[in-house]
Structure 1
Amino acid sequence: MKDLHLTVDNALEVCKALSHEHRMNILKILSTGPHNVNELSEKLGIPFSTTAVNVKKLEDMDLIISELVPGRGTQKVNSKNFDRIIIDLSPSEVELEKNLISIDMPIGEYVDCKAEPSCGLVGDNDYIGMQDDPRSFYETNRREAELLYFKAGYVEYRYPNRTPYGSSVSELEFTLEICSEAPYHKNDWPSDITMWINGIEVGTWTSPGDFGGERGFNTPKWWSLHFTQYGLLKNWKVTETGTFLDGNKISDVRIKDLQITKNPYISLKIGIKEEATNIGGINLFGTNFGNYSQGIVMNLRYL
């Protein structure tokens, strides 16, 4: 799958090119395969000249490509150049927040784990190791995982501590795409998912279910629709006043309790407590699975 990534600054002209019914229909037709202008004109039911003008506009924006191929003589054939167009609404580098350390951790970069079936690791193109075999979590290519899941257990990550010497940490947050783990998928399947930072329990979120039946935005096409497709993007944040989940306070653990500046790394552990009321497992999504193009993002703010 080929993506076109745009920023807010350079997206306007592409959006203008797409804001026309004929051009959108041309892209839909080209999604089925290459066509020349005559073929496009016939399928659209519009004049050749009108089709040619719209094809030229899409060519100018590099949204389609044209090449000369042998046929009855030589003919010009058009093909779609991208499968998806992604507009990044994040600020440009010059606008990035000061005194912020941001690290996107791949989900396969855990340093410790315990996984009980149903469990597994999934890469871009296939499973990693064997399904429902906890030994697969120790495979040497586990770092290539884009989806990991288990019914019970945990995974632990260690982030480099880049806090400048002499600074104090004011806020620490983790954002990740996550959901429950049910056989195949099940929207109503609660699971109590707990997070620990530097060994301290900071709070539990009850995932409502394991979501499938509709393909996740980044989920590869080979992955069956009957299985988990996407999760929910959740944000745990520890501040000077407590710990918050999606803006709602869930515990009294404060940033000073984590003693971040005294440790060479920052430990993040995500799992299911043995005494949890709802032991409904975990699905954790990477950059190329689910609805969000990220791993587990840590944002650390300091003074």
Structure 2
Amino acid sequence: MNISVNSLNMPLLECFGSETRVRMIELLSRQPMNIKELADALQLSSAIITKHIQKLEENGIVGTESISGTRGRRKVCYLIPDSIVLQLKAPEPPEEHGGSGYAVSIPVGQYERCSVKPTCGLASENGVIGMVDDPRYFSDPEHVKAKHLWFASGFIEYRIPNYLVGRQTVTSFSLSLELCSEAPGYNEHWPSDITFSLGDTVLGTWTCPGDFGSTPGVHTPKWWKLGTQHGLLKTVTVDERGTYLDGVRLSGLTSADLAIGPGRELLFRIACPDTAEHPGGVSLFGRHFGNYDQEIEVRIGYE
């Protein structure tokens, strides 16, 4: 998870301003724990622990699940992200196409190709598009209005504009998006192997820990009642050093290996095949859904 250090992200940054919350994160990094176990470990009341958990949960750091125990139901807490990378320097503003880089925002509904299997569906900010669990509606012209889409297996592919001319070549490729797994309804513990590719080149695979629906998405419409509420913000970067996911090195694949020049088709694919070790599907979020008010944001640097 990449987070810019700015006033918009103060609710998340405040999560680390409390020694109690930091100690809770430290405990949960070792294993999931219920409220009472956390309270006993930190010698605090369950009410205080519950308040801190709510803040961590609202900001996508901790997930919770209610399970049956010997004395009724108990709330088990677990960490969602493996790491959070703080971006201290604000991204450079988009330059003109003749400069050294450009940025584009691709709405999640404006995909080029897809092949999906149920459970699946699309939703705009105002309502569901077509019928749920019917892949035919992914070809409906209304799909361009989608701000949230989901599928149990298959892929979805987006065309990224290529503004290179002459002898220009790509030196960096960065893409950020909000997504998670896709379980019927939702399931906080539903791992999914989600693979990112650019053309025929696999950039890497990320195993999402779950499909998040226990807490409302910050931007998810109030009318939405179909389970999944938000995802995790992930950033894939390929530059001259290698390929990274949220700042963590995935492979030695570099921007030179991509060999992107003028006229080359840039197709970005998000896939979860039936043959994956964890075929847990994909839920993708754009503006007006999830925790981050953004579409698929792409930045390309060149020389």
C-alpha offsets along residues 238-269 of structure 1, whole Å, 9 cap, x if unaligned?
Answer: 11222111111112222122221154431100
| Aligned-partner Cα distance in 1 for 2:220–2:245 | 26
Change (3 A) 1:277 1:168: same
Deviation at 1:90, TM superposition (A): 9.2
Return the alpha-carbon distance in structure 2 between the equivalents of residues 192 and 94 of structure 1. 33
* Alignment check: 8 A CA contact 1:172 1:301 kept: yes
Secondary structure of the 1:228 match is: coil
Q: Which residue of 1 aligns with 2:227?
A: 227
Structure 1 spans left out of the alignment, 5+ residues: 1-6, 9-88
Taking the aligned partners of 2:209 and 2:165, their CA distance within structure 1 comes to 39
Deviation at 1:92, TM superposition (A): 10
Say whether residues 1:255 and 2:255 are aligned partners.
yes
SS in 2 for 1:220: coil
Q: CA offset at residue 288 of structure 1?
A: 1.1
TM-score (norm: length of structure 1):
0.67
Q: Give 1 or 2 for the bigger CA radius of gyration.
A: 1
Q: Is the 8 A contact 2:164 2:263 kept in 1?
A: no
Q: Give the Å deviation of 1:173.
A: 0.9
Percent of pairs identical after alignment?
A: 41
- Please tell me whether the aligned partners of residues 108 and 145 of structure 1 are also in contact (alpha carbons under 8 angstroms): yes
Equivalent position amino acid for 1:258 in 2: L
Q: Distance in 2 between matches of 1:191 and 1:165?
A: 41
Tell me how far apart the structure 2 counterparts of residues 186 and 135 of structure 1 sit (CA, whole Å).
25
> In structure 2, what residue type is equivalent to 1:161?
N
Does the 8 A contact of 1:160 with 1:264 survive in 2? no
Using the TM superposition, give the Cα deviation of residue 93 of structure 1 relative to its aligned residue in structure 2, in angstroms. Answer: 8.5
Task: Return 5+ residue gaps in structure 2 as ranges.
Answer: 1-5, 8-87
Aligned to 1:133: 134
Q: Distance in 2 between matches of 1:233 and 1:158?
A: 20
CA RMSD of aligned residues (A): 2.4
SS of residue matched to 2:229: strand
Q: 1:91 Cα deviation (Å)? A: 5.8
User: Deviation at 1:206?
Assistant: 0.2
Maintained 8 Å contact 2:152/2:280 = yes
User: 1:132/1:260 Cα in 2 relative to 1: closer, same or farther (>3 Å)?
Assistant: same
Query: Normalising by structure 2, what TM-score?
Result: 0.67
Q: 1:95 & 1:107 partners in 2: Cα distance?
A: 20
Structure 1 residue runs of 4+, over 4 Å off?
A: 89-98
1:246 corresponds in structure 2 to: 246
Q: Give a deviation string over 1:154-182, Cα, whole Å, max 9, x none.
A: 00001110124332211101100000001
- CA drift of 1:199 comes to 1.7
- Number of aligned residues: 216
